Amino acid sequence: MVAVPVGREVTMGVEEEFLLVDAVDGVPVGGCDDVLDADRRRHRPESGPGRESAPESAREFQRELLSTMVETATAVCTDLAALRAELAASRARLDQAARKAGVRALASGTAPMAAPARQVTPTPHYRQMARLYGRLTDETETCGCHVHIGVPDRQSAVAVLNHLRPWLPVLLALSANSPYHQGADTGHASWRTLVLSRWPTHQIPPYFESAEHYDRTVAGLRRTGVLPGRATNAYWFARPSNHLPTVEVRVADVAPSVDEAVLQAGLTRALVASALGAVAAGRPAPRLPDHVAGAALWTAARYGLRGPAVHPLTGSRVPAAEAVRALLGRVRPALEASGDEEEVRALADRVLAHGTGADRQRRRAAPDTPWTTL
């Protein structure tokens, strides 16, 4: 197997999904194409001799499943300072484009305010999803934070997944940011997770023996018809990328702040680096039973950090803060190697002290305006 990278050599990048909402009442609006057009006009390089091409920071935003959503992405980064700068610049740029298009960008895992029926983005892939999944596509107006971490090869990526499985619910608990849906408090910290759980394979991935085992599983799911024919991957909350040498961890709700996106990236990179070390040393991943993994994920979605959690290693019921401390202890050597320990611990302590996005949405919510935009 390829030598294991350590510290700052482990690369990372973040994709963020945002809702587009009316500037007055916060109701989602189908303004994705208008926002993309506004951004392209702003960043289109002028023609003529001596003109430079568009800068790297002008990477295009992307459509998502519904026209009320838009996706941004950072460059590949090797340290948290560069990632922070990328995230801040991308959010500022999205805010400018959204305002130019007459809407606002909202960092919430679900839409807090009620709205009429949604329109599926008219691409061949999304149309096929709409035909296969029916009303699920219209109702999946959810926004997440997806962290890509570089790995040496695909075999390593699948081996890393096994080590990540117990810790994914803790990442979710720290990121929970979707307590409201369609004008009502759901009683959950991450309603996004419950919405996504209705889709095939949108869960913690099973234990895989090898990359070949993973690929056979995905191919088998396609043959059953529960994945679109165009799908090249399943929807698990962690998975190897099919076109990049990365592991994609997609369990977190979209972060309400740059700080919390940086926290997710820092913890995820440290988890992957720790897993790579364990794989290289021949240490097997814990065989967390699927039903325990499912219980841990549901508990994290229900309570966030304001209630119990399922301990990642013992499977016992513990306070959520204890599960977070277990995660920080697990990744401490990797955080030290990357120089991220002080920053990541401070960011985690801040969320533990002041609450997740879900907690803050509830605290600041007037009866009819439980939302704030970028």
Residue-wise pLDDT for 78-105, tens only, equals: 999 999 999 999 999 999 999 999 999 9
Across 107-135, average pLDDT? 75
* pLDDT at site 321: 97
Residue 138 included in any domain: yes
Residue 170 included in any domain: yes
Residue 51 included in any domain: no
Domain count, the chain: 1
Which positions ≥6 away from 181 have C-beta within 8 Å? 110, 111, 112, 191, 195
Kindly tell me if the per-residue pLDDT of 4 is higher than 60.
no
Alpha carbons 75 and 255: distance in angstroms, whole number: 18
Kindly tell me if the per-residue pLDDT of 362 is higher than 80.
yes
What's the length of the chain? 374
Across 120-141, average pLDDT? 71
Kindly tell me if the per-residue pLDDT of 138 is higher than 90.
no
Domain ranges, residue 101: 7-42+57-356
* pLDDT at site 219: 93
* pLDDT at site 369: 58
Residue 266 included in any domain: yes
Residue 366 included in any domain: no
CB 192 within 8 Å of CB 109: yes
* pLDDT at site 178: 97
Alpha carbons 198 and 213: distance in angstroms, whole number: 24
Alpha carbons 12 and 150: distance in angstroms, whole number: 6
Residue 21 included in any domain: yes
The pLDDT tens digits of the residues spanning 249-299 come to 999 999 999 999 999 999 999 999 999 999 999 999 999 999 999 999 999
Mean pLDDT of the chain: 89
Report which of 11, 6, 174 is spatially closest to residue 82, judged by C-alpha positions.
11
The pLDDT tens digits of the residues spanning 181-212 come to 988 999 999 999 999 998 889 999 999 999 99
Across 353-357, average pLDDT? 97
Residue 2 included in any domain: no
Helix or strand run (H / E) with residue 218: helix 211-224
Radius of gyration of the chain (CA): 20
Residue 371 included in any domain: no
* pLDDT at site 2: 42
Q: DSSP 3-state assignment of 207?
A: coil
Which positions ≥6 away from 235 have C-beta within 8 Å? 196, 199, 200, 201, 202
Burial of 51 by CB count in 10 Å (0-12 exposed, 13-18 middle, 19+ buried)? Answer: exposed
* pLDDT at site 58: 45
Kindly tell me if the per-residue pLDDT of 50 is higher than 70.
no
Q: What is the DSSP string of 115-146?
A: -----B--SHHHHHHHHHHTHHHHH----EEE
Domain with residue 185: its CATH number is 3.30.590.20
